[in-house]
Amino acid sequence: MTQAIPYWHVDAFSAQPFGGNQAAVMLLERWLADDVLQKIGAENLFAETAFLVPDESGEADWELRWFTPTDEVALCGHATLASGHVVLSSPDRFGAAESVTFSTRKAGVLEVVREGDLYELGLPVTRVEPSSQPALLDAIGFRGETFLSYEGAEQTAIILLESEAEVRALSPDMGKLRDIDLMAICTARGDGGSGTDIVSRVFVPAWGVDEDSVTGSAHAALAPFWAERMGRNSFTAHQASERGGDLTLRLAKDQVGDRAWLGGPCVTVVEGSFYL
């Protein structure tokens, strides 16, 4: 018997279609087998497909998992923001609310808050420390300072470059990066071209996405990284991918620790059913 699964295609961190990062959001009554979830992620072929199931434990409003075309991931920011947008912009279906919570398997409980036409997502921060990564620099094709995560999301690397122009000029060797099991975040201060405080590009071919369009989890690492260097806890960011996306960033502490709050708009471009 064919099953119709409610489906939304959302452009996150964009107020207009064709910008930001694409995510599929799919609403399940209960969890399907993992191999089926992975096949759906491959079928959608977005950087992430977010699956929601009502959370009956009372811990949060929804359970949430994310799949790339090739893997389940421990944390995805833009697809969480997209999921919050779907729930909070559909009061007739989900009830009127200004915030929604999601329980995840490795990232704890995440919250999305709506403020007018914008959304803010709170993510646990990722902290990095200096680390020699010659193979990574060779694959990126630029010299820079390299840092590796020691707290928060694992397998996260930051490459600090000297200028926004260097970030925009990157043309990494994706074949070499595919053999390096890291999310490679290349970043520099904004110099006017982006109109924001910092710029970045993010490469994750080892996880099935050569260059990500706008990466929430990367900004959970960039927020404390740049806050330390700028001496302030709020600033603006631009991810200089082909689609591009703009975010607000701020650091705040809550009962579970430091959070990076990522802000931006979302737009639904497709709503319908996925038939399984």
Could you give the domains of the chain? 4-124+263-275 (3.10.310.10), 128-249 (3.10.310.10)
CA distance 38 to 153: 21
Is the distance from CB of 180 to CB of 210 less than 8 angstroms? no
Joined together, the tokens standing for residue 224 give 């404390």
Look up 48 and say whether it is catalytic. yes
CB 81 within 8 A of CB 264: yes
Distance separating alpha carbons of residues 114 and 117, to the nearest angstrom: 7
Q: How far apart are CA 133 and CA 141, in angstroms?
A: 12
Residue with tokens 């009962």: 255
CB 252 within 8 A of CB 262: no
Q: What pLDDT shows up at residue 254? A: 72
Q: What is the C-alpha to C-alpha distance for residues 98 and 77, in angstroms, rounded to an integer?
A: 18
For the beta carbon of residue 273, count every other beta carbon within 10 angstroms. 12
pLDDT profile of the chain (276 residues), mean per 10? 93 94 97 97 95 97 96 92 97 95 94 94 95 97 96 94 96 96 96 88 92 93 96 95 93 80 96 96
From 29, 43, 48, 98, the catalytic residue: 48
Listing DSSP states for 162-182 in one string gives: S-HHHHHH----HHHHHTS-S
Predicted local confidence at residue 193, as pLDDT: 72
Comparing CA positions, the residue from 104, 97, 80, 92 lying closest to residue 263 is 80
Q: What is the pLDDT of residue 30?
A: 96
Q: Express the helix, strand and coil content of the chain in percent, nearest 5 each.
A: 25, 45, 35
- What letter does residue 32 receive in the DSSP assignment? P
Helices (H), the chain: 34-44, 77-88, 91-94, 134-140, 164-169, 174-178, 216-230
Cβ neighbours of residue 55 closer than 8 Å, sequence gap 6 or more: 61, 62, 63, 102, 103
